[in-house]
Chains A and B, each alone.
Chain A
Amino acid sequence: MPMNTNLSDAALRQAAQRLAHQMSAALPAEDAGFSAGFDTRMEPLLRRERHRRTARLIWRRTAAALLAIVLAFGAALAVSPAARAAVGRWLRQMTTEVIAYRFPAAQSAGTWTGNDPTWLPDGYVMASDFTGDNGVRTVRYTSPQGDVMLAAVGFRSDQDISMEVRSHRTAGLSDVRTGQRPQGEPGDPEGCDIREVQVRGRDARLYQFRHLPDETRSVSVYSVLFYLDSPDSDAAPFYSVSIPERGRLLVWADEDAGQVFLLFGTPGQKELCRMAESMYEEGNRS
């Protein structure tokens, strides 16, 4: 006679739990741990892995930060001429005959409209402020001790500009066929002492000109000549100034203003630098 047994859901769940408990109890006991020798051998491996994870994390974060900076900088360059100018690199090269600067084409700032120096050496007064058709602004200061001139030559947007400092021996000379100007040999230029200085954080150079032994001239004269670097350009400089021996020339490029500044004349290094610095004083910047 068949047995009729009814099992409820609750009874079945209870039986399953009991079985699971019995099976779990029947499992062999877990090992208490690894041996001391094994732990010692594994430690460097684990440490290396931990370092690797940390290094990976740092690298990822650095890469993300760099990417963000590059994107932000690129965006700034795309919209801001001033930012583009700030990364423009001008070059300087010296040979025995010429000190040559090259200013790559940059966002043109046009004629300099900034303020004059607020500080002048004793006895100096402003005598003239002239802007020529070439866009170069020249301000002349005079005193019983002589003249000081400030010249501002703007970068060009379409052409590179070259600036050359030469003595009377090679100033104005060029090959008739090629138009090439005398380049000289690698080395220090003759006739001038050079000092590296700063004008409000901008690299500047002070040139002091000396007498060059020359049978044909009793006084040496140096020229600063600006050329447009283009095959279509005239071989003649678009702007030039003369500085006699014992004169000094302070040169600095202000890429924010898009200008090359020349300050030249009689005063010494301290006075010329102070004069230049005073152009950047608070409340004296256009």
Chain B
Amino acid sequence: MKKAVMLLAVLALALTACGRQEDTGKVVYIPLWMEPYSVVYYDADLNRTITEGGDLTEEEINSREDIRAVGMYGDELAEPDTKVEYDLHGFIQNVYYKTDDGTGYQLAPPDARG
């Protein structure tokens, strides 16, 4: 009986190892440019909510020299529970992190807090 239980346990472990999916994190890139004064929130699962402003269209992006010089995606990664603000040109200005009590946002990331 004991042997049978051990055998089943080993079999279960082996099946779990074989059938395990590849570890998939989540990668979300922040646009470096949006409409002027846009405000975007990223929740704990990196889902995105735009509360002010909006995304630029492909035509707007491709017609602007300042965007072509700097780039659009790839440099900035979204982080959980953050708020991103854009300046008067629509360029990314600040990333704010949720406070420890969850009531607001602050510039210091959780790693930098005492």
Contacts and interface: CB of A to CB of B under 8 A. Distances in A.
Interface in A124-158: 128-134, 138, 140, 144-149, 151
B62 A244 contact: no
A151 B28 CA distance: 16
Contact of A247 (B21, B27, B46, B62): B27
A269 B100 CA distance: 37
Interface string B50-72: 00000000100110010011111
Interface stretch (A40-48, A196-204, A213-221): A213-221
Contact of A245 (B25, B47, B70): B25
A219 B27 CA distance: 12
Which of under 10, 10 to 19, 20 to 34, or 35 or more describes the interface residues of A? 35 or more
A222 to B, nearest CB: 10
A133 B71 CA distance: 8
Contact of A242 (B22, B25, B77): B77
B3 interface: no
29 contacts: A128-B61, A128-B73, A130-B72, A131-B68, A132-B69, A132-B71, A133-B68, A134-B71, A138-B72, A138-B73, A140-B29, A144-B47, A145-B26, A147-B29, A148-B27, A149-B29, A149-B74, A219-B79, A240-B74, A241-B75, A242-B77, A244-B27, A246-B23, A246-B25, A266-B24, A268-B21, A268-B22, A268-B24, A269-B22
Interface of A: 128-134, 138, 140, 144-149, 151, 216-219, 221, 239-247, 264-270
